[in-house]
Amino acid sequence: MLEFLARLFGRDSGSKNVAKERLRLVLVHDRSSVSPQLLETLKAEMIQVISNYMDIDEQGLEVNLDSSGNSVALVANIPVRGMKRKLK
């Protein structure tokens, strides 16, 4: 939540925040027993499937695991440019 507010009001980044976010992701991956390679494969397959139906910004796509208590959630932020009229 604080990261969102910092980005909203322009107080984002710095190497400290980037390092903290990477460490958080590493800890979530360790707790959920998901390797970074598996997450990258999941991301690639999600891009492939969603691209069949929507025009998306692949560079802006973010896929993360977020832990809350004893549960882990897959969180995907997928910028959609538009819908495709025809299926491939």
Give per-residue pLDDT as tens, 44-74.
898 899 988 999 998 888 887 777 777 778 8
**Helices first, then strands: H and E counts in the chain:** 3, 4
**Residue 51 is assigned to a structural domain of this protein:** yes
Residue appearing with tokens 């796509």: 61
Query: What 8-state DSSP symbol labels residue 86?
Result: S
Instruction: Return the sign of the alpha-carbon dihedral for residues 70, 31, 6, 60.
Output: negative
Count of structural domains, the chain: 1
Q: What is the identity of the amino acid at 8?
A: L
Residue 31 falls inside a structural domain: yes
Which residue's entry shows tokens 């549960």? 71
- In terms of DSSP bridges, do strands 62-68 and 54-56 run parallel, antiparallel, or are they unpaired? unpaired
- The reply to whether 55 falls in a domain is yes
Q: Examine residue 24 and state whether it is found in any structural domain, yes or no.
A: yes
The residue to which tokens 């969102």 are assigned: 4
Residue 88 covered by a domain: no
Residue 6, pLDDT above cutoff 70? no
Q: Give the pLDDT score at 9.
A: 59
**pLDDT confidence of residue 85:** 78
pLDDT by residue (tens digit) across 7-48?
655 554 567 777 777 776 666 656 666 777 887 888 889 889
